[in-house]
């Protein structure tokens, strides 16, 4: 429910001018410039930027809050085990 509230707070203009969209547009500009002028390096970087922006979209789509909560829980359990082992080794 909190996630839905965050999505509602983001305006349409904010979504259109987000970093992902700007990166994607830069990839399109680089790709277009490469085809217009005929430079292979701009075509390469345009494709590379476009691919990176798609990967970034899918990475950000993943629920990172849940992921970090799980990682924190694992760390706390590991710390507790290490502390117990350290106490057992003491005479």
pLDDT in tens, 36-62: 998 889 999 999 999 999 888 887 777
Q: Which residues of the chain have pLDDT under 50?
A: 1
pLDDT of residue 5: 56
pLDDT of residue 59: 78
Residue with tokens 């547009």: 25
pLDDT of residue 67: 79
Measure Cα distances from 68 to 59, 64, 65, 71, 89 in Å.
Answer: 14, 6, 5, 5, 31
On whether the pTM is more than 0.85, the answer is no
């Amino acid at each position: 429910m909190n996630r839905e509230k965050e999505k509602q707070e983001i305006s349409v203009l904010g979504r259109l001018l987000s970093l992902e969209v700007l990166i994607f547009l830069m990839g399109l500009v680089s790709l277009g410039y490469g085809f217009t002028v005929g430079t292979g390096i701009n075509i390469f970087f345009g494709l590379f930027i476009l691919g990176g922006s798609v990967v970034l979209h899918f990475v950000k789509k993943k629920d990172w809050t849940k992921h970090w909560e799980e990682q924190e829980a694992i760390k706390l359990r590991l710390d507790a085990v290490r502390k117990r082992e350290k106490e057992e080794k003491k005479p």
